[in-house]
A and B are shown apart, each in its own frame.
Chain A
């Protein structure tokens, strides 16, 4: 089966500093694929490169057979990818509803947009309670749900999630991962970056390990002892 997302030899740099030094990986359609690695390994850089915020210096990214390398972020959304960024980045001075409408910006089908908002409120009841409140007043967990819901408003084929559990209480983290599982069951492909390796490995079908800008391991959750994965995810391997 051809991969939905194919990243080949991507090099992304900030000035002279190469954050990604030739990253290659694939995300299969219908899967939850997870990218683990220590801080500074390049996880967020890869997410931003895939989402069009950063342009790679070399390499290519293909999505559903089309080349999306170096396309601007709004074109990436049009192609069917939505990123839930690290730290949620909701629009604090827009209401919850307006945040969702912003996520649907590229769509023209008014009635369906309203139906989607209704469906998302059903999935995230706390957002319905706060529909007219400004997003800046929401708690961390609620903002995370809003960020996910906003990304879903564009009806993406693939959801990119950058550290969805960051800064959230354990109960909320469980809820987030429950939602990830639900979305997967409903057919969305998910590419997930996480520091919380334990939770991520429970839901992923495939995972990659990235260390210092290069992929150092690729496999399914059973293939490496969990404690070794976790130590490499948090600390990087001693040999590097």
Chain B
């Protein structure tokens, strides 16, 4: 029984690491630009489709595919940023969000036109057998996922807390107007944060498809749902919250599937979010309201 619990938790952390990366991407864009990017998942899908195409055409190695996935996601993200978010800098947040929703569909169409099948194989990260210790199984690609997520979080922390760019980003999160009065070019910061979020999303997408060994057209929708859910579970707008939310979602799903079957997996997660919001509506705004300067 204990072994089952531990195994589920371990599996949950493995998938939760990717959820955490997705949530971090959403949170960066929401926290800095104060906009919800609904094309985030589809850009990741496009990135993974580009990597899949590269694999089919060139049989490229894992590292090359990772670079293609990240690079293509960043390009798709730049397209979304220029089209949906840059024009509405001073304007309506809703307009930007709805625009990104429209481009979601466009990006998915482009991807499925290029690669029309329902499923494509993707090279698995590590072929070897899972590690075993004390009755627990740890798949090797889970180690890669968790390791990559840790590395990304460390990199992000250094970027935010030990660099000039980080000061600009955190100042923009605290008070965008005061940041521009201090001489910070908000447009330039927004573009770079978008690229960073896209790169992180590309990594998340690559880890997910390489772990599952396949790509499907549902990747866009799936990434969006998991990322948003993880972000909301962890508290909207908080980066540590995004990580915790992602891990919590993974662990919750893993245990729900074990005890209640695969159908319960998504249901329990949504029920938890509903319960959280019903009991504590302020949960959604606690990180956004502490931001206002006195």
> What residues make up the interface of A, taking CB atoms closer than 8 Å to B?
51-53, 72-74, 77-78, 82-83, 85, 87-94, 98, 101-103, 105-106, 136, 140, 143, 150-151, 154
Contact = CB atoms under 8 A, between A and B. Distances in A.
Q: 4 nearest interchain CB pairs?
A: A77-B183, A89-B178, A73-B180, A91-B174
Nearest to A90: B293
A140 B145 CA distance: 47
B183 A105 contact: yes
Nearest to B186: A74
Given A88-B294, A90-B293, A106 B171 contact: no
B184 interface: yes
Given A53-B181, A73-B183, A92-B294, 7 more contacts: A73-B180, A74-B184, A82-B181, A89-B181, A93-B290, A105-B167, A143-B294
Contacts of A106: 183
Contacts of A102: 167-168, 171, 179, 182, 184
Contacts of A92: 174, 291-294
Interface string B173-191: 1110111111111100000
Contacts of A103: 182-183
B178 A77 contact: no
24 contacts: A53-B177, A53-B180, A72-B180, A73-B183, A74-B186, A77-B182, A83-B181, A85-B178, A87-B293, A89-B181, A91-B174, A91-B178, A92-B174, A92-B294, A101-B164, A102-B179, A103-B183, A105-B164, A105-B167, A105-B183, A106-B183, A136-B294, A140-B294, A154-B182
Interface centre among A51, A102, A103, A106 (most CB of B within 10 A): A102
Nearest to A98: B167
Contacts of B293: 87-92, 136
B170 interface: yes
B181 A77 contact: yes
B294 A78 contact: no
Interface in B154-180: 164, 167-168, 170-171, 173-175, 177-180
A51 B174 CA distance: 19
Contacts of A105: 164, 167-168, 182-184
Contacts of B164: 101, 105
Contacts, number: 86
Nearest to A150: B182
Q: Using C-beta atoms within 8 Å of the partner chain, give the interface range for chain B.
A: 20 to 34
Contacts of B171: 91, 94, 102
Contact of B167 (A74, A77, A101): A101
A15 to B, nearest CB: 13
Contact of A89 (B167, B170, B175, B184): B175
A182 B107 CA distance: 59
Contacts of A90: 178, 293-294
Contacts of B290: 93
Interface centre among A87, A91, A140 (most CB of B within 10 A): A91
A91 B292 CA distance: 9
A38 B178 CA distance: 24
B183 A74 contact: yes
A107 to B, nearest CB: 9
A73 B181 contact: yes
Nearest to B165: A105
A26 to B, nearest CB: 23
A240 B170 CA distance: 45
A116 B37 CA distance: 40
B55 to A, nearest CB: 43
A143 B294 CA distance: 9
A203 to B, nearest CB: 23
A106 B188 CA distance: 13
Nearest to B292: A92
Contacts of A150: 182
A119 B183 CA distance: 21
A191 B37 CA distance: 41
Interface string B268-294: 000000000000000000000011111
Contacts of A78: 183
Contact of A93 (B168, B170, B182, B183): B170
Interface centre among A72, A88, A105 (most CB of B within 10 A): A105
A72 B181 CA distance: 9
A91 B170 contact: yes
B184 A94 contact: no
A93 B294 CA distance: 11
B27 to A, nearest CB: 15
